[in-house]
Amino acid sequence: MTTDMSATATRDDEGARKANVYSAEVSELYDLVYKGRGKNYAHESAVVTELVRARRPGAASLLDVACGTGEHLRTFRLMFDEVEGVELSPTMRAGASVKVPGVAVHDGDIRLFDTGRTYDAVCSLFGTVGYMTDTAELEAAVGRMAAHLPTGGVLIVEPWYFPDRFIDGHIAGDLVRGADRTVTRVMRVARTTGSTVRQESHWSVADATGVRHFDQVQIFTLFEPDDYTAAFRRAGCDVEYIESGDIGDGRGLFVGVRQ
Ligand SMILES: C[S@@+](CC[C@H](N)C(=O)[O-])C[C@H]1O[C@@H](n2cnc3c(N)ncnc32)[C@H](O)[C@@H]1O
């Protein structure tokens, strides 16, 4: 099957933004692809925990926002007495519920959620905030996360790419062999207008039943470092940027403490 990607390129951005909430097809393959790429969730969770404890030594509770399939939660639950997640995709949430049974994974939008309690630490990892459409949405997301912290609580956000580090027109691909299937994913990321970026991916999956294909379109915003720090300050947090190359895709972390 061939796919005319120009067809997706004409899609309305708002429709594509809804695809930022992961489909059943993507959810099913997510862990296989990212583990295949060598993403080290246990190490990343340990880095986040260390940053939290350096600022709040007795931290006992953590909320992971847009937690996906719960890979970070799997490690966080070993490091904190209480962990919970928030995730908008029903199929990603279902995966997390299987992986971390007994851990509450709330149905919620990063811009709107309210779990009704506070946590010593809140994090959102792997660039999910890059899905926010503008600085107002970024401030809403950071504001909701900070609202779940007590004074002295720690907020850790992994940004998406900054404009000066983004490679316009970048192409990439993965080939992953699982026990019962082989998956390929090719993608291209390119600016559309201003700071908006469209990431188009084409997936192929071969298993015992046959070969299938599907497309995924994600829309990101290239926020400046100052946009992130302004959102943290507006949410009542002191903030620093830590250029940690060994988490995620090397985009660093914003670390805030609620005042
Ligand atoms: C790049 S994945 C990161 C998942 C996980 N944190 C990880 O590190 O593997 C982005 C996740 O954000 C979720 N998502 C997208 N938009 C969201 C929103 N507005 N609110 C909450 N979750 C959202 C997607 O469904 C997906 O699970």
C-alpha of residue 21 to centroid of ligand 1, in Å? 7
pLDDT tens figures, 114-130: 999 999 999 999 999 99
User: Three-state SS for 257?
Assistant: strand
Q: Is the CB of 254 under 6 A from ligand 1?
A: no
- In the chain, domain spans: 5-21+164-221, 41-160+223-258
pTM for this one? 0.93
Q: How far apart are CA 256 and CA 259, in angstroms?
A: 9
Whose C-alpha lies nearest to ligand 1, atom 27? 68
Would you place residue 14 in the very low, low, confident or very high pLDDT band (cuts 50, 70, 90)? low
Burial environment of residue 74 by CB neighbours within 10 A (0 to 12, 13 to 18, 19 or more)? middle
> At 49, is the pLDDT very low, low, confident or very high (cuts 50, 70, 90)?
very high
Q: What is the pLDDT of residue 242?
A: 95
Tens of pLDDT, residues 89-146: 999 999 999 999 999 999 999 999 999 999 999 999 999 999 999 999 999 999 999 9
- For residue 51, which phi and psi values (nearest 5 degrees)? -65, -40
- Structure-block tokens of residue 221: 């915003």
Residue bearing the CA closest to ligand 1, atom 16: 21
Closest CA to 142 of 152, 162, 161, 128: 128
- What's the half-sphere exposure (Cβ side, CA atoms, 13 Å) at 212? 9
- CA of 27, closest atom in ligand 1: 27
User: What percentage of the chain reaches a pLDDT higher than 70?
Assistant: 92
Strands, E assignment, 60-207:
61-65, 82-87, 105-107, 121-124, 154-157, 170-177, 181-191, 196-207
Query: What digits encode the pLDDT tens for the residues 146-156?
Result: 999 999 999 99
121-124 and 237-242 strand pairing: unpaired
Distance 28 CA to ligand 1 centre (A): 14
Whose CA is closest to 200, among 174, 219, 222? 219
**Nearest by Cα to 188 from 222, 163, 218, 160:** 218
Residue 10 contacts by C-beta under 8 Å, 6 or more apart in sequence? none
Q: Is 171 helix (H, G, I), strand (E, B) or coil?
A: strand
Bridge partners, 65 (sequence order): 86
pLDDT at 236 over 90: yes
Q: Residue 33 in contact with residue 185, Cβ under 8 Å?
A: yes
| Domain 41-160+223-258 CATH assignment equals 3.40.50.150 | yes
The second-level CATH assignment, the architecture, of 5-21+164-221 is: Single Sheet (2.20)
Is ligand 1 within 6 A of the CB of residue 139? no
pLDDT at 6: 32
Distance CA 129, CA 202 (A): 23
